[in-house]
Every structure is written in structure tokens, then in C-alpha cells.
Structure 1
Amino acid sequence: MGRSRMTPNTGTSHAYDDGTRRTEILQTAASIIATSGLRTSLQDIAEAAGILPGSLYHHFDSKEAILVELLRRYHEDLDRIADEAQARLNDPDFHPAFDQIAGLCKAIARCSVAHRAALQMSFFEGPSSNHELTALAARRPTALLQSMLETLRAARWSGYLRSDVDLAMLAGRAVQTMLQIGLDVMRGNASSDKSAALLCRILFEGLAAGAPTDEQLDGSAAFQAADAVVRSWTDDADADDKAAHIRAVARTEFGKKGYEVTTVRDIASAAGMGTGTVYRLIGSKEQLLAAIMQSFGEKVALGWSEVLASDSSSVEKLDALSWINTNALDRFADEFRIQLAWMRQSPPDTPNPGWLFTKRVRQMKAILSQGITSGEISIDSPSNDLLARSVIGVGWIPESILREVGTRASLLCVRDTSLRGVVVTRS
């Protein structure tokens, strides 16, 4: 099947529009899944598309067939972006290194917004008898990572990037960061292009007006406070009781499959218990989620509180918060995936499962305002809100990098990018 005609992306439109009824159904399904999650049924999709469920079966024989097509088109789009980036590198006309990098990052961000439903599916392993669906959901954007790597190599050859930078790690961090823009909460009301441009500035040129050394950052009061909190964390699964066992099993199931599609029956089966027993011990699925995420949220919140209360500079506090985040992801990966799924949309005013995102944005604004006023932080931003959301986003290292290099090297990666920057000279 040939590629469909691409439509201009405004941040809300869908990537494919060939005018067919089949594509209209896919666009409708993508919109509903992006806002309501994977629990969306064929009935929901048919109603939103204004057709009878029976008519929908003329185009797709199952919900999984729709998911496969959404993922296939998402990966086709990512591969197209990779091809176009490669072609630009071979263009004989001169393009400044930052413009090349930013252009690729903006294209990735637009794609992530246009394919939010497929992006969600890539977060979870999701049980399925459809092998193509499983493979597509787990597929890494290999061609895109390679194109980003080649773009960064060209930037190094031009003298834009330092020679000591691990380009493969930087490429992975840049691609994953731009894909996260597909989570509405990370860009707020800003366009994908504005978000991508700002994140590029942060990742490549850094926030710190100076260049704090690792020794200075390690010795700060903020880092010492963060490290003390990290060492105080205990795993709730260590508790020797049935309720704790259920919580441990549930957080794994929620993290692997997603909260919406995981049932109490799934949790009971994985825990080796009866469904009735699980209900008696933990109540509803909503109560179980709240118990899991409350514990996670309290651990992270304690870290933020201790760091913010420390007698340290704004840059030192940003660094210490990254240490909190890195260790939270390392120790509580399932809770992080649950939180990531929740952050699919802008969080409601009511408390979300564990992390109180709106409060974190408010706290980050205060840190950044202090740093900009004192001259410690130097960054041009279209808005304080977008800057705070972006800095929170880059404070979390991609899990793939963390698993590959460990917590300390991940922290150094954050320092070298979002704090000190990786360019030869600051513009």
C-alpha cells in the first residue's frame, strides 16, 4: 500500500488524509484513543465516526486491526522523517548545524502529536494474540535514531558539538525527548514546533550560564539532600503481607499493560489469588491505583521538598532534582510508566495518581525565575509555563539510556546536556 498524502500539521491534525472512509475511521479512532486510552471500544469508534458498528467491520475486522494500522502509519511517518533528514544532510546548500538538528526535532515532535494514539501504544507491552501488533508496539525507531546520529556527526564535523560528547547517547536522548512532546502535558498549550525548538536549546546549549563541574554539583547541599532521600527509600514489595503482595503485582501489571486495560481479574491471576480475595483486601481497582501511586508520590515529593529547602543555587537544585528523578525511574519503573500514561493528557485539577504535576510546574517556575533573575540560568523562552514544563521533561532521562548505562552515567548525561550544554561555544 502506498503512502498517503501528508497534510500540514498544526499540532492537532492527523498525519494521513487521503479522503477515504477508511482513513476517516482511523483518524476518529486515533482521536478517541489519544483522549480515552486503549479501553476505547469498536462501539465507541463507530459512534464517533457516525456509522453503525456493522458498517465499521467492512473496513476493519477488529479493534486490533485498527491498532495495527495506526502503529504501521506511525512508523511509516517516522521512517519518512528519517529519510528526509538524511536527504538534507546530502544537500549541497549550507545549513547551520543547529538548524539541521532543530528541523529534525520539530519533525519528530509534529509526528508525535499527530500520532498520539500510536505513541501511547508504544508505552506498553499489552497482551495480544496479534503478533504484528505486539511487534509494532515494541518496535524502536531505528532509522530515526540513525538519522539523528548522522545529523549530530555532521554537527560535530562542522565544529558545533564538542568532541567528547557521546553522540549515540545524545541521539537517543534527543529522539525520546521529542517524542515525549506527544504527551500534551509536556507542551501545555504551546505548538509542537515551539516545544521542540525550546527543548533543542536546553538539550544542546544547556541552562547554566556557567559550567559547573561534577565536583561542585556533587558537593552541593541540594545534591546531598537528594542523595539522602534516595538512600532512605524502601520498596513496598518488601512488606510481608498479602495486601503488599497484591500492590506489588498490580503495579507490575499496570506498568506493563496500562491501567485502563488491566482488570482486577488480571491482577488476581498474576498474584495467584481469587478475584474475591483481591477485592476484600484492596477494594476497587481505583483504590489500588491510589495506594500504589500515593507511596510513589510521597517518595518523590519528599525529594523535591528537601532539595527546594536546601541552601543551594538554582542550577544546583535542578541537578539534584534530576538525581531524584533518575533514581525514582531506576527503583520504581512501573510507577513511572503508570504516571506517564496518566500524563497522556493535561492533568486535571483534581489530584492525579501520585505526582501532582501542576504543583511541580509551579515549583519549577519559582526555581527558574530565581535562576534567571540571579543570572545563573540563561535561556530564551516563549513562556514561563512552557519553560517549566520543558525543564521538568528533560529532568527525566529516557529509561532505555538508564538501563544501558546506570544511574550515575545517566546523571552525567543530564548534566552534560540540559545544564552545561554540548556545544563548543554558547550562542
Structure 2
Amino acid sequence: MTSSKGESDQELSASGRIDEIRRSAGSLFLAKGYASTTMNDIASSVGILPGSLYHHFVSKEAVAIEMLDSLNDDLRLLSIDLRRLGYLALPPEARLRELCRRVVQLSLQHAAAVRLRAFDPPTVASDRFRDAVALQPVGLQRLWRAAANDLRDRYPHSPVNPYLLTHTLQRLTATSSTSLPGPVDPDVSSRIICDTLLYGIAPECPDDATLDASDPIRAAKSAVSEWHSAGDDDALKRQILDGAKHEFARRGYDATTIRDVVEASGVRMGSIYRRVSSMEAIFDELAENYATHMHRSVTAVLDAQSDSAAATLDALAYVIVQAKRHFPDETKMMSLGWYLAQDGQPTFALRYREQSAKRMARLVEILTQGITQGTLASTCDPATLAPYLRNILWINFPDQGRVSVKQEHRFLRTHLLRGIVSQ
């Protein structure tokens, strides 16, 4: 009996230690990013020697895979649980709302795993890691698609896009723990997401012809037409920058080395250092070019004269949809560092955050004005709504060949502005 009890105590102790390791590693992944976290960091956070940590996990990747597996298991169980609770008998809108609420809950419970899934794993990751990141539980996918398709069938005269709606709802809810500021309430967050994409924020939105002729959309199209590649006539430097931005987009700034840039650009290391002084200088030049184009375009839209908040939001949507196609690597490389700790980040990464905060403040002003005038719906206060709108506008679709710029912009007009559910 004593031996049996001793073994049980040992098992409980080991289990508690593993849970502690997972929690500590998760906090570090959220704060520093996966690439910048080491096994020594995890051991120090737990208060054990690195050798003791390796007794429980053979690598940092093994810890991450366990986190991802736990999230994926809960997502699979969610689809089973919903069926047991009579979910399928609900109307399609109620089903979408319940899916949103439950997925937001899981996102909060598995915040570190969500952070790992939100971006591609490191290029040196194993197939096992990549599979865990990419896994989409089939049962849950079917529930999303069925609810969106049934919503379209219920409103046959409304321009519902089930594919884009499903993907947008999935991304918004699954990443809510890392993409929304402050404490997230699943009930409140899921309500805002569904109200925004199903009922729209501008129910009296002008028709397409009026929006296409608005001053903000004309300003947006003029600004976008001026986008061009950064740099001067130095073709070799352009080659270096093109290779570097691809690696920053794949790995993030912290995990990218000069050797990665050498391999990606095909330019020798000596030639690289004759044209740029450091990795930070490379990042700053790329980020500054991207930020300059975005700032000019967004400012042109915001400064355009318009009595319609909907027209201004529509033009902002146009700029962002175009930016995601024109600057795919720059968009990804900036987003990779968005939620990480600020120590050691490139100079322009910090300035970009400051610029983004100013643009967010302008967005809040537009929403406040529209709500005050009665042209925008007040589902919540403008400061709360603004981050949700930003996230909706910046959603990336996995198959851009299937979704054109025109289709994506139309989706934002019909779902985000006008709404697709009859009141």
C-alpha cells in the first residue's frame, strides 16, 4: 500500500510539474514569441534546472505541440458537445452566434496555442508541429459551413457570401484572445462580431454607385495608384530587400538571421553589408516604405470631404484590401511582431505601432461622428467597436486566387456596412 501510494504521489507531482511547465511556457510564448523563447527561459520561469526540464519535455517544440494538441482536442469535442445539446435544431443565426461564443471561450482558455496558430510555425519546425498548427477539426468546419449556407437559404434575396462569412467568423473568434485589447468577455465579444457582420454598422448605407462616386473612394484609388516598389536604382539592394522581407514574413524579425537573408536573396554576405549596416536597418527601410504608403493612403481617405461615415469606412476598406495584395510580405512581417514585447524590436516597428494607434484614434472619431449623426448603428461604444472593425478589415483569406479584390471589397460593403440579415 505504501509503495502504491508513493507511486501515486509521484505521478501527481509529475503531472503538476508538467502543467506548471506548460503554463510558464505559454506565458513566455505570449510575451516573447515562440522563436525568441528558449528552454533555458522556460526552466528559469518554472524555477528548475534545464536538465530537469528535459526530463519532462525533449524540446521547446514538444511543449508547443502539447498546447496545440490540447486546443485541437477541445475544438473536436466542441462539435460533438454542440450536437448533443440540440444545437442543430436552432435557426442558422442562433447557431452562428453559439459557435462564435463557444470558440471565443476556447480561444481564451488556450491563448498560447492560439498565438502559435495565428502565424506560421518557424521554418525549421517539424511536420508534426506544422500539422498541429494547420489542423482544422472537420466536425467543427461542417457546423460553420452548414450554418452559413442555411443563413443564405433563409435570406435568398440578401447577398450572403457563406465562404467569406465563415472564414471571417472563424478567424475573428479563434484569434480573439490575442487580437483584441483588454479582457475579453465571450458573450460580449461574440455578440459584437455577429451583430457587425450580420446586421452591418451602416444600415442606411448608400448604394454602390454612390459609394463608387464618393470623394473618399476617389482619394483611396488615387493614393493606391501611386504605390510602387521601395528603393532606388540599385538592383542588388532591391534584391536584398526582397529576400529580407520574405524571410521577415516567414520567421519574424527576431528569428531571421543574416544567413537567412543571404540564402533568400542570393546575395553574398559581404555585398549585403556594403549596402546595409544591420538587420535592423533592413527591417526599418522595408517597414518605413510600407508605413509611408499606408499612412498617405489612409490620411488621404480620412481627409477627403464626406458627409457619409459609411463612405469613409468603405474607402478605408478599399485601401486595406489592396494593401493585403500589394504588400503581402510587409503586412505579415509587421503583424508578426505586433503582440510581442517591445524590448529589442526594430526602431520603426515601434514607430509603426505609434502610427497605428493614431489611425485607430481617427477611426474612433469617424465611428463617434457616425453614431452621433445616426448614420451608423451603435451596437457598442466606438472605442470598443474600432478594434473589431480593424480585425475584420485585415482578415487574410487563405486562397487569394479564389477571392478577388473586387469580391473582398464587395463582401465588406454588404456584410460589414449594410448587413445581410433582415431586421
In structure 1, give the amino acid aligned to 2:318. Answer: W
Which residue is equivalent to 1:146? 142
- Please say if 1:279 is aligned against 2:279: no
Equivalent position SS for 2:372: helix
Which residue is equivalent to 2:260? 266
Equivalent position to 1:247, from 241, 244, 248: 241
Evaluate the alpha carbon distance shift between residue 346 and residue 64 of structure 1 in structure 2; reply closer, same or farther with a 3 A threshold.
closer
> 1:108 deviation in Å?
1.7
In structure 1, give the amino acid aligned to 2:329. Answer: D
- For residues 209 and 80 of structure 2, the distance between their equivalents in structure 1, rounded to whole angstroms, comes to 42
Equivalence map 1:289-368=2 (5 Å):
289-312=283-306, 313-344=308-339, 351-353=350-352, 356-368=355-367
CA contact (8 A) 1:397 1:414 kept: no
Worse-matched range after superposition: 395-404 or 225-234: 395-404
Equivalent position SS for 1:351: helix
The C-alpha deviation readout for 1:1-48, integer Å capped at 9, x for no partner, is: xxxxxxxxxxxxxxxxx9632222112111110110021000001111
Structure 2: 5+ residue stretches without partners = 1-13
In structure 1, give the amino acid aligned to 2:194. Answer: C
- For residues 347 and 387 of structure 1, the distance between their equivalents in structure 2, rounded to whole angstroms, comes to 25
> 1:248 deviation in Å?
1.1
Which residue is equivalent to 1:369? 368
Evaluate the alpha carbon distance shift between residue 331 and residue 83 of structure 1 in structure 2; reply closer, same or farther with a 3 A threshold.
farther
Evaluate the alpha carbon distance shift between residue 213 and residue 180 of structure 1 in structure 2; reply closer, same or farther with a 3 A threshold.
farther
Which residue is equivalent to 2:4? none
Worse-matched range after superposition: 40-49 or 145-154: 145-154
Equivalent position to 1:20, from 13, 16, 21: 16
- Please say if 1:69 is aligned against 2:77: no
Which residue is equivalent to 2:109? 114
> 1:379 deviation in Å?
2.4
Select the structure of larger CA radius of gyration. Answer: 2
Which residue is equivalent to 2:211? 217
Equivalence map 1:56-135=2 (5 Å):
56-88=53-85, 90=87, 95=90, 97-122=92-117, 123-128=119-124, 130-135=126-131
- Please say if 1:42 is aligned against 2:36: no
TM (norm. structure 2) is: 0.87
Which residue is equivalent to 1:380? 379
- For residues 353 and 279 of structure 1, the distance between their equivalents in structure 2, rounded to whole angstroms, comes to 25
> 1:196 deviation in Å?
2.6
Evaluate the alpha carbon distance shift between residue 367 and residue 204 of structure 1 in structure 2; reply closer, same or farther with a 3 A threshold.
same
Equivalent position to 1:172, from 167, 172, 175: 167
- For residues 236 and 214 of structure 1, the distance between their equivalents in structure 2, rounded to whole angstroms, comes to 34
> 1:72 deviation in Å?
1.7
Worse-matched range after superposition: 173-182 or 24-33: 173-182
Which residue is equivalent to 2:398? 400
Evaluate the alpha carbon distance shift between residue 324 and residue 163 of structure 1 in structure 2; reply closer, same or farther with a 3 A threshold.
closer
Evaluate the alpha carbon distance shift between residue 83 and residue 336 of structure 1 in structure 2; reply closer, same or farther with a 3 A threshold.
farther
> 1:370 deviation in Å?
1.0
Structure number with higher helix proportion: 2
Equivalence map 1:195-234=2 (5 Å):
195-234=189-228
Which residue is equivalent to 1:29? 25
- For residues 398 and 85 of structure 1, the distance between their equivalents in structure 2, rounded to whole angstroms, comes to 28
In structure 2, give the amino acid aligned to 1:289. Answer: F
Evaluate the alpha carbon distance shift between residue 338 and residue 19 of structure 1 in structure 2; reply closer, same or farther with a 3 A threshold.
same
Evaluate the alpha carbon distance shift between residue 32 and residue 331 of structure 1 in structure 2; reply closer, same or farther with a 3 A threshold.
same
- For residues 229 and 344 of structure 1, the distance between their equivalents in structure 2, rounded to whole angstroms, comes to 29
Q: Percent identity?
A: 28
> 1:192 deviation in Å?
4.4
Worse-matched range after superposition: 272-281 or 33-42: 272-281
- Please say if 1:418 is aligned against 2:416: yes
> 1:105 deviation in Å?
0.8
Equivalent position SS for 2:398: helix
> 1:346 deviation in Å?
8.9
4+ residue segments displaced more than 6 Å: 346-350
> 1:83 deviation in Å?
3.0
Equivalent position SS for 1:58: helix
Equivalent position SS for 1:391: helix
- For residues 304 and 368 of structure 1, the distance between their equivalents in structure 2, rounded to whole angstroms, comes to 15
The C-alpha deviation readout for 1:386-418, integer Å capped at 9, x for no partner, is: 211111121224232644211000001111111
- For residues 330 and 97 of structure 1, the distance between their equivalents in structure 2, rounded to whole angstroms, comes to 32
- For residues 181 and 138 of structure 2, the distance between their equivalents in structure 1, rounded to whole angstroms, comes to 25
Equivalent position SS for 1:32: helix
Equivalent position SS for 2:249: helix
CA contact (8 A) 2:397 2:403 kept: no
Evaluate the alpha carbon distance shift between residue 344 and residue 83 of structure 1 in structure 2; reply closer, same or farther with a 3 A threshold.
farther
Evaluate the alpha carbon distance shift between residue 23 and residue 245 of structure 1 in structure 2; reply closer, same or farther with a 3 A threshold.
same
Worse-matched range after superposition: 171-180 or 104-113: 104-113
> 1:266 deviation in Å?
1.1
CA contact (8 A) 1:210 1:420 kept: yes
- For residues 167 and 76 of structure 1, the distance between their equivalents in structure 2, rounded to whole angstroms, comes to 26
> 1:287 deviation in Å?
2.2
Structure 1: 5+ residue stretches without partners = 1-17
TM (norm. structure 1) is: 0.86
